[in-house]
Amino acid sequence: MIHKPRIDDIKSIGYYLGKIIIGLGLTMLLPIFLGLACKEINPTLDFLIGIEIALIFGFLLQKLCFTEKDLNWMQGMIVVSLSWLVAMVLGAIPLYLSGHWKSFLDTCFDSMSGFATTGLTLVQDLDHLSYAHNLWRHLIMFIGGQGIVIVALAFSIKGLSGAFKM
């Protein structure tokens, strides 16, 4: 049976997806700090643009979809699915801006392979990749290994354990 989503379902999904996007954006602070420490101006700007897009999108989702309701099981599954897609796109933005990939699709592939911890890459001229971008490539693999969505849901959702009770 296919469940027809109500407006409350969409608001809950959007609100918690916004929380995850903000968390992903805040992880971009680490490459920014490394870029500043290594005096890499252009990579730092790449990550500033990426964090700006993530925070604007995340705060906008949280503001438009604000709710105090907890997620149920079905909403949680949708948040997990959408989180992987959104993390792929947002994680690819700083990589694409570096100019070491041929297309945005290549950076999306690189980003998704990082979050899925396969480690496959399509980077061009890896030897000249900045420290900040290289840290980001490794950081997204670490985040993927920890289970980006599971960790985010565990800390941001109060009553998820009650949603799995039969």
Write down the H helix ranges in the chain: 7-27, 29-37, 41-64, 73-98, 104-115, 131-146, 148-156, 160-163
- pLDDT band of 25, cuts 50, 70, 90: very high
**What is the arithmetic mean of pLDDT over 20-29?**
96
Is the residue at 139 inside a domain?
yes
Note the pLDDT of residue 5.
Answer: 81
Does residue 23 sit within a domain?
A: yes
| pLDDT range class, residue 154, cuts 50, 70, 90 | low
Q: Say whether pLDDT at 150 is over 70.
A: no
Write down the pLDDT at residue 165: 47
| 1 occurs within a structural domain | no
- 156 falls within a domain: yes
pLDDT, position 94: 97
Q: What is the pLDDT of residue 39?
A: 97
Mean pLDDT confidence for 104-130: 90
Residue 89 within any structural domain of the chain: yes
Q: Say if 2 falls within a structural domain.
A: no
Whether 12 is covered by a domain: the verdict is yes
Q: Which domain holds residue 128?
A: 7-163
User: Across residues 72-90, what is the average pLDDT?
Assistant: 89
Burial 57-90 (b: 16+ CB within 10 A, else e): bbeebbeebebeeebeeebbebbbebbeebbbbb
Domain count, the chain: 1
Q: Is there a domain that residue 35 lies in?
A: yes
Q: At residue 40, does pLDDT exceed 90? A: yes
Single-letter amino acid, residue 140:
I
Closest CA to 79 of 93, 92, 65: 65
**Segment of 33-42, 75-84, 118-127 carrying the highest mean pLDDT:** 33-42
